[in-house]
Amino acid sequence: MTPVTPPAFQAVQELAVGSLFCLGHLHVPPLRRSFFQTCILTLAGLLGVGIWLSPTLASVSLFVVLLMYAGSFWIPDRRWPGRMRWLSLAVGAAGMLVPSLLPAKESSNVAEIAAQIATTLTSALLLGSALIGMMLGHHYLRDPKLPPALIRRLAMLFLLSTVVQGLLLVVNLGALHLFGGAEAAARIGLLSTSYLAVFLSRVCVGILGSFVLACVIWDTLLIPNVQAATGFFYMAILTTAIGEFLGRFLQHSTLIPL
């Protein structure tokens, strides 16, 4: 695999886990079964591309479980979709956290490992809330009678995740600078030399850009204008995908949770 492939696979894994978490905050009714199936099959399709390029046990396992989750909505017993969602979350979380912790395996610093886990979980929520928010906004075109509170819930998750992601970046870099020693200082120095353009893009596009869009989406939904908010969610998909991929690339390159 090229150096770009592992960060891309990890970002897709985070997208799947975050999306599954966000789907758990939506309910049937008022949403139709077809909405959940569309979201789940979209995630399976993204994973399928990764499997086609380079299959891994984690990606194949999650792909199979997602197909089972989508099919569970046809089972008369309505408890099965909930069970399959939890199973999908468990399989996806395992596949997401293990690769994200591999760069930190050389360090015995518990604080650094905890920071890596927090950054990974926040990235998952950021990506998932953007994707499911966009797909839910599109679903309002088919069913305009849906209450705006549903998409506001996702907009709030998206806004909070952008704030937390920015805070984590500042805290992680600050802690490494103050307490990491010479090795950590050398790793931070890479951000201002070899990876300066990547780091600036990560901050400006992935964090600041997503935060601005999150504020605009929230303000638009106060009107409420779901159609306009959906358009901004489309833009948020781009900023979050670019930002989180660059963050995972920097993580693999510098061993800093970004």
pLDDT digits (tens, 9 = 90+) for 185-198: 888 888 878 888 88
The per-residue pLDDT for range 27-83, each reduced to its tens digit, is 767 788 889 999 999 999 999 887 887 778 888 899 999 999 999 989 888 888 888
H or E stretch at 253: helix 226-254
Task: Give the pTM.
Answer: 0.91
Tell me the pLDDT tens digit for each residue of 162-177.
999 999 999 888 888 7
Taking alpha carbons only, the member of 36, 210, 19, 4 closest to residue 124 is 19
More confident residue, 137 or 256: 137
Query: What's the CA gap between 178 and 82, in Å, rounded?
Result: 45
Res. 219: pLDDT tops 70: yes
Mean pLDDT over residues 134-142, rounded? 90
The answer on pLDDT for 120 being more than 80 is yes
- What does the alpha-carbon distance between residue 81 and residue 86 come to, in Å, rounded to a whole number? 9
Q: Give the Å distances, CA to CA, from 171 to 99, 167, 178, 194, 231.
A: 22, 6, 10, 22, 32
Rounded Cα–Cα distance for residues 249 and 193 (Å): 15
DSSP state of 202: I
Report the pLDDT value the prediction gives residue 69, as an integer from 0 to 100: 92
**Distance in angstroms (rounded) separating the CA atoms of residues 25 and 66:** 18
What confidence tens digit (pLDDT) does each residue in 76-104 have? 888 888 889 999 999 999 888 876 666 55
User: According to the model, what pLDDT value does residue 32 have?
Assistant: 82
In this prediction, residue 1 has a pLDDT band, given cuts at 50, 70 and 90, of: very low
Region of residue 90 (phi > 0: left; psi between -120 and 50: alpha; otherwise: beta): alpha
CB-based contact 43:16 (threshold 8 Å): yes
Tell how far CA 150 is from the center of its chain. Answer: 19
User: How much is the CA Rg of the chain, to the nearest whole Å?
Assistant: 19
Query: Is the pLDDT reported for residue 127 higher than 90?
Result: yes
